[in-house]
Amino acid sequence: MTHANDLDPEQITTLLSVFYGRVRKDPEIGPVFNRIVDDWDEHLTRLEDFWSSLMLASGRYKGNPLAMHALHGDLITPTMFDSWLAIWARTTDELLPPDIASIMQTKAHRIAERLKTVMYEPSHGEATVTPCPHNVVDASPDAPPG
């Protein structure tokens, strides 16, 4: 059985490069990402730090993904998370061993749910900056929902 600690940092780099290459070409979410992200090299480095911290406990990520996504709540719709997750599932399934792909997909689903909770009020669907009691980096499959 493969475990998350069997994941090589280079696999994260490759995964993110392929994944965001697909995201940028996606007709629904690509235009939003391409509008928001000015420096793709810097963005991918930050995402490598994020996933390295999440999967390998490297401690490299020092950002606040909740606040960053909330800043763009006017451009990001709740359904865009479904598109992002579908591309993520396809890419992780193609590039990673099944056990690691499954772990990363579970973490991504929890992250998406937390981001949607923070960004949108259920009754209005408008972006909000509601505090979240858990850091997204701690969104492990056994972590309590935020």
Phi, psi dihedrals of residue 125, rounded to the nearest 5°: 70, 15
- Structural domain for 104, as ranges: 4-138
Could you give the number of structural domains in the chain? 1
Rounded Cα–Cα distance for residues 106 and 21 (Å): 21
Q: For residue 70, what is the domain's CATH number?
A: 1.10.490.10
Residue 6 has pLDDT above 60, yes or no: yes
Judge if pTM exceeds 0.75. Answer: yes
What average pLDDT does the chain have?
Answer: 80
What pLDDT, in 10s, does the model give residues 51-60? Answer: 999 999 888 8
What pLDDT, in 10s, does the model give residues 17-30? Answer: 999 999 999 999 99
146 is a domain residue? no
69 is a domain residue? yes
145 is a domain residue? no
What pLDDT, in 10s, does the model give residues 72-102? Answer: 667 788 889 999 999 999 999 999 999 999 9
